[in-house]
Chains A and B, each alone.
Chain A
Amino acid sequence: MRIVAEHLSYTYNADTLFATAALKDVSLTVEEGEFFGIIGHTGSGKSTFVQHLNGLIRVPSSMKRYKKKKPKKGQALPPQTVLTVGEYDLTDKKTNFRELRKHVGMVFQYPEYQLFAETVKEDVAFGLKNFSEKKPTNEEITEAVRAALEVVGLNYNEIAKKSPFELSGGQKRRVAIAGVIVTRPEILVLDEPAAGLDPVGKREIMELLHKLHKEWCKTVIIVSHDMDEISENCTRAAVFSEGSVRYVLPPHELFQKREELRALGLDIPLTARLCEKLEQAGVKLDCDFTIDDFVAKLSALKEGKA
């Protein structure tokens, strides 16, 4: 499923004194199969954007009460908003949003805070029961939950009957992710998936996302503040600032825009900072800003000189 947004704008508390524009004329396409990154400060509009993708925030024209405003005389027509996820037109009132949500899984920040059921199995099965058109049989539920738990690296037999609150932090997060992917969404969106975990936990979660990307969900989208995480993992990344998309580029091109990113108050990865300083010291290094490539290129440089 391809995601296409054109001229997407959104204002919180529209038509009131507290109106705040969160998205301003955003155009962005995410291709099927990408491991896409979304970067930006708190308040840059990135969460508002991702919440559009499964209809948690609706384009006004898709709401039942929506009536088209007639433009005033002499006023130009606003550009046509486009928002599609695969076949689904999210600007259309007739779209089946419930069905859409089955295809677009959303993992919020600190998803373990949203665990609620008495057992891990019930928690993971909740979404499945809600999104299935006809009631799944007990066997179907067990099989789906088993598969979801196993792909996130948990053992069904050991864990299914436990309370999710007995688990460790990393395990809880995995259970929460299992509860989202159990419906086999084609697109998985995660807000800060590694936040609050210890270094090894972080690495394991990123490895898990790559595994899911390969075996389970075609497209993975992560929202992250960690530029190193973006440069190590993403095919492309979009930079949000003040409600607009400033750049959409592969990390190795994006992080060459050091000054532009700094002007937006954003960081660049450690490898990009080192490359910059090396350049100033007269060592030009053409690397894609992953640690692997950085050390490999330096090693090659040394071999060449030797």
Chain B
Amino acid sequence: MNALELKGVSFSYEEEGGFRIDNLNLTVGEGEFVAVLGHNGSGKSTLARLCNGLLEADAGEISVFGVPLDSKNLFEIRKNVGVVFQNPDNQTVATYVEDDVAFGAENIGLPREEIGKRIDFALKATGIEQLRHSTAARLSGGQKQRVAIAGVLALKPKIIILDESTAMLDPRGRREIVEVVNKLNKEEGITVLLITHFPEEALMADRAIVMNRGTVVMQGTPREVFARQEELLTYNLDLPRIGIICNRLRALGLNIADTMDEDELVKEIVRCVS
């Protein structure tokens, strides 16, 4: 079954006119890890907000695990689709980590015992058990974002959408988040939609899609997408740095095979220069 299905979805913000999302079709399979790339203003965040009903589409159909997203099913769907946003400081509601993680689960009225179990699970899955009793406001950005992910996980969603959740973090924080998300996808089978500006982060996805003007303009495995540098540049995107280096070396006459892996690139270079 498809985890997420969007058919002919359009959306415009009232005050703007013109479409933010323009006749968008997208299918995400269960357990799939999809990276969404796109320049500032391409509609990525709007897409995230449409998928769990924070925004209502003007036209088209959205369904989550076959259940259509409408006002009747909204709360059910929100349990299944968790969104983690960009700013770590805007997503904590409680003083202590444990309470913050419990917030969503408490809101849907789960029994106390179940909430306890879910907190244990969520803290463990995001690797922040030791922060359980810490003050949320005093954590690093990467830790705060993991708390936000844990809060979403406590609802046992089948889909997690990360809307540029790594944009405001330092490299260490970014790595923490990417590792947690990858683990959740591989070990818990959670479907992931990773919205990002960092081409490097798209490399570990099963599929990369590129958005422009509210619609999907490119898709394929990350390698397939990154094989089309010129097209990416027209959408204000670029290759991961390693891909840029590969292309530059080839332009200078080194016969290097395409790779996005540092060790492979080193092997290729050694082969070419020795």
Residue numbers of A with Cβ under 8 A of B are 41-43, 110, 168-170, 195-201, 203, 225-228, 265, 267, 270-271, 273-274, 277-278, 281-283, 291, 294-296, 298-299, 301-302, 305
Q: Are A270 and B40 in contact, with the CB atoms below 8 A?
A: no
Q: How far is the CB of A290 from chain B (nearest CB, A)?
A: 11
Q: Are B266 and A274 in contact, with the CB atoms below 8 A?
A: yes
Q: Are A42 and B140 in contact, with the CB atoms below 8 A?
A: yes
Chain A residues within an 8 Å CB radius of B131? none
Chain A residues within an 8 Å CB radius of B266? 274, 277-278, 281
Q: Are B172 and A270 in contact, with the CB atoms below 8 A?
A: no
A170 to B39, CA, bound (A): 10
Chain B residues within an 8 Å CB radius of A199? 197, 199, 236-238
A281 to B263, CA, bound (A): 10
Residue numbers of B with Cβ under 8 A of A are 38-41, 86, 140-141, 164, 167-168, 170-173, 197, 199, 233, 236-238, 241-242, 244-245, 248-249, 252-254, 262-263, 265-267, 269-270, 272-274
Chain B residues within an 8 Å CB radius of A281? 266-267, 270
Q: How far is the CB of B174 from chain A (nearest CB, A)?
A: 9
Q: How far is the CB of A190 from chain B (nearest CB, A)?
A: 16
Q: Are A291 and B241 in contact, with the CB atoms below 8 A?
A: yes
Chain B residues within an 8 Å CB radius of A170? 40
Q: Are B171 and A200 in contact, with the CB atoms below 8 A?
A: no
A205 to B164, CA, bound (A): 19
- Of A169, A203, A271, A282, which contacts B41 at CB under 8 A? A169
Q: Are A302 and B262 in contact, with the CB atoms below 8 A?
A: no
Q: Are A298 and B241 in contact, with the CB atoms below 8 A?
A: no
Chain B residues within an 8 Å CB radius of A225? 170-171
Instruction: Given A196-B164, A283-B270, A295-B245, answer yes or no on A302-B197 (Cβ-Cβ < 8 Å).
Output: no
Q: Are B274 and A274 in contact, with the CB atoms below 8 A?
A: no
Chain B residues within an 8 Å CB radius of A271? 245
Q: Are B172 and A201 in contact, with the CB atoms below 8 A?
A: no
Q: Are B237 and A196 in contact, with the CB atoms below 8 A?
A: no
Chain B residues within an 8 Å CB radius of A283? 269-270, 273-274
Q: How far is the CB of A280 from chain B (nearest CB, A)?
A: 8
A203 to B253, CA, bound (A): 26
Chain A residues within an 8 Å CB radius of B41? 168-169
Chain A residues within an 8 Å CB radius of B248? 291, 295
Q: How far is the CB of B217 from chain A (nearest CB, A)?
A: 14
In the complex, what residue of chain A is closest to B266 when comparing beta carbons? A277
Add 5 more A-B contacts to A198-B236, A291-B248 (CB < 8 A): A198-B197, A200-B39, A267-B171, A274-B245, A302-B253
In the complex, what residue of chain B is closest to A291 when comparing beta carbons? B245
Chain A residues within an 8 Å CB radius of B168? 110, 195-196
Q: Are B170 and A270 in contact, with the CB atoms below 8 A?
A: no
Q: How far is the CB of B256 from chain A (nearest CB, A)?
A: 10
A282 to B171, CA, bound (A): 29
6 contacts between A and B (CB under 8 A): A200-B233, A278-B266, A291-B245, A291-B248, A298-B269, A305-B273
A225 to B244, CA, bound (A): 20
In the complex, what residue of chain B is closest to A200 when comparing beta carbons? B236
A271 to B265, CA, bound (A): 11
Chain A residues within an 8 Å CB radius of B270? 278, 281-283
Q: How far is the CB of B46 from chain A (nearest CB, A)?
A: 14
Q: How far is the CB of A166 from chain B (nearest CB, A)?
A: 9
Q: Are B263 and A277 in contact, with the CB atoms below 8 A?
A: yes
In the complex, what residue of chain A is closest to B40 when comparing beta carbons? A169
Chain A residues within an 8 Å CB radius of B86? 196
Q: Are A298 and B164 in contact, with the CB atoms below 8 A?
A: no
Q: Are A302 and B254 in contact, with the CB atoms below 8 A?
A: yes
A200 to B141, CA, bound (A): 25
A225 to B171, CA, bound (A): 7
Chain B residues within an 8 Å CB radius of A305? 273-274
A195 to B169, CA, bound (A): 9
Q: Are B236 and A277 in contact, with the CB atoms below 8 A?
A: no
Chain A residues within an 8 Å CB radius of B237? 198-200
Q: How far is the CB of A86 from chain B (nearest CB, A)?
A: 31
Q: How far is the CB of B166 from chain A (nearest CB, A)?
A: 10
- Of B39, B171, B173, B269, which contacts A201 at CB under 8 A? B39
A199 to B252, CA, bound (A): 23
A265 to B245, CA, bound (A): 25
A55 to B155, CA, bound (A): 47
Q: How far is the CB of A125 from chain B (nearest CB, A)?
A: 25
Chain A residues within an 8 Å CB radius of B254? 298-299, 302
Q: How far is the CB of A142 from chain B (nearest CB, A)?
A: 29
Chain B residues within an 8 Å CB radius of A201? 39-40, 236
- Of A196, A274, A298, which contacts B273 at CB under 8 A? A298
Chain A residues within an 8 Å CB radius of B274? 282-283, 305
A291 to B266, CA, bound (A): 15
Q: How far is the CB of B229 from chain A (nearest CB, A)?
A: 11
- Of A110, A226, A267, A299, which contacts B253 at CB under 8 A? A299
Chain A residues within an 8 Å CB radius of B253? 299, 302
Instruction: Given A41-B172, A302-B273, answer yes or no on A294-B40 (Cβ-Cβ < 8 Å).
Output: no
In the complex, what residue of chain A is closest to B271 when comparing beta carbons? A281
